[in-house]
Amino acid sequence: MLDINKIRADFPILSQKVNGKPLVYFDNGATSQKPQVVIDAISKYYQEINANIHRGVHTLSQLATDAYEISRGKIQKHINAEFAHEVLFTSGTTHGINLVTNGFASILKEGDEILVSALEHHSNIVPWQMLCEKTGAVLRVIPMNQEGELIMEEYDKLLSSKTKIVTVNHISNALGTVNPIKYMIDKAHAVGAAILIDGAQAVPHLKPDVQELDCDFYVFSGHKICGPTGTGILYGKEAWLNKLPPYQGGGEMIKEVSFEKTTYAELPHKFEAGTPNVAGGIVLGTAIDYMNEVGFDNIQQQEKELLEYGTKRLLEIEGLKIFGTAKEKTSVISFNIEGIHPYDIGTIVDKLGIAVRTGHHCAQPIMTFYDIPGTIRASFAFYNTTEEIDMMVAAIKRAQMMLS
């Protein structure tokens, strides 16, 4: 079991007051808070070893390079990638997806098909649409049901020899649905298609095993797992990363440059042009160490309790409807209250210190599916408590009284 008070003490922001009220932070789906070890590691990097990496022979440059590569190794181990060079540092999930779609522009032909799920974040829709515009490939959508689950019979029907790549999130940011990705990966491979998993909402809750999953690409952001903003990971199978062309040209990604011909560096450097976010990459490793120290079993246990308790308490509110009632779901509750705009609730509860997200959660097609303008989303992390849920429920009831 987690010692929740000890955990909360690791996060200085959680003891702050917002609008004169104790902060209740339930916007973890948008970004997580940072523990003191992560905050300290950033300043320690700049105080002690700041230098550019992979370039100088001088001591600081070597220390920074070593720390950066040690962090890559930690992440490799964490997601169980076969090789460290299959782990690319990016600025986040969005960057990782764009790197892949850019690479597929040289692979896809007119009439090829890309399958995208109805549950995607805009950053896993728009880059694929741009890729379709460039190549003449066709985007097809795996539909969802009222519970917010993808319909696997429809997925099976959409797959064909025309399918070149499938893209789906591991867990939906808007509804919390956990998708049956192992099934989807195996089915995609059976027709010879590649598959990308958007793990942005999964890595805060579980440890993915990319070899066991056998996915071709797995992307996530550092800032949602207690790490710094502007960090992320693209895992790609070696064979795919060798096949895809570089994303950006510049320093660090080359072997030799002349005006006649340039040759590219080996993996992972081929995809890491320019000076990267050195501090961020190193400290992402610190964040992953922290999460592992807390322990994913503990994290899941705490979040399961929060999901169950939060669902029960919220459903006590008259006129409240939860969107996303999948059998497999993480600690995200999206809901609306009859007759009241989600934005109005969000604004009032913010005055009471409660941070929830309102709007379309970068997933407008899901809102269109339910024919609603948006939802209120409470997304819980392992450092949240049932007492905080009580505070949120009281605040919502107060807002409801004021607005009706």
Ligand X SMILES: *Cc1c(COP(=O)(O)O)cnc(C)c1O
Which residues are annotated as catalytic? 362
The region, left, alpha or beta by phi > 0 then psi within -120 to 50, assigned to residue 256 is beta
Nearest to 14 by CA among 3, 27, 2, 29: 27
Instruction: Figure out which of the listed residues 32, 65, 167, 169 binds ligand X, where binding follows CB under 6 A.
Output: 169
* Touching ligand X, residues 332-391 (CB under 6 A): none
In the bound state with ligand X, the residue whose beta carbon lies nearer, of 332 and 345, is 332
The region, left, alpha or beta by phi > 0 then psi within -120 to 50, assigned to residue 3 is beta
Instruction: Figure out which of the listed residues 121, 187, 269, 377 binds ligand X, where binding follows CB under 6 A.
Output: 121
Asked if 123 touches ligand X (CB under 6 A), the answer is yes
Largest CA distance in the chain: 72
Cβ neighbours around 280 below 10 Å, total: 24
Candidates 59-67, 119-127, 240-248, 317-325; binding stretch for ligand X (CB under 6 A): 119-127
In the bound state with ligand X, the residue whose beta carbon lies nearer, of 101 and 221, is 221
The region, left, alpha or beta by phi > 0 then psi within -120 to 50, assigned to residue 385 is beta
Compute CA distances 41 → 30, 69, 140, 198, 345, whole Å: 23, 16, 44, 27, 37
Q: How far is the CB of 122 from ligand X (least distance, A)?
A: 8
Amino acid at residue number 164 = K
In sequence order, the 6+-apart residues with CB closer than 8 A to the CB of 370 are 323
Candidates 12-20, 53-61, 117-125, 268-276; binding stretch for ligand X (CB under 6 A): 117-125
Handedness of CA 340, 343, 346, 350 (dihedral sign): negative
In the bound state with ligand X, the residue whose beta carbon lies nearer, of 25 and 400, is 25
Asked if 98 touches ligand X (CB under 6 A), the answer is no
- Each residue 182-201 as x (binds ligand X by CB under 6 A) or -, in order, gives ----------------x-xx
Q: Is 115 helix (H, G, I), strand (E, B) or coil?
A: strand
d(CA 188, CA 70): 33
Asked if 179 touches ligand X (CB under 6 A), the answer is no
In the bound state with ligand X, the residue whose beta carbon lies nearer, of 228 and 346, is 228
Instruction: Figure out which of the listed residues 28, 33, 65, 93 binds ligand X, where binding follows CB under 6 A.
Output: 93
- Each residue 210-249 as x (binds ligand X by CB under 6 A) or -, in order, gives -----------x----------------------------
Q: How far is the CB of 17 from ligand X (least distance, A)?
A: 27
Sites of contact with ligand X (CB under 6 A): 92-94, 121, 123-124, 169, 173, 198, 200-201, 221
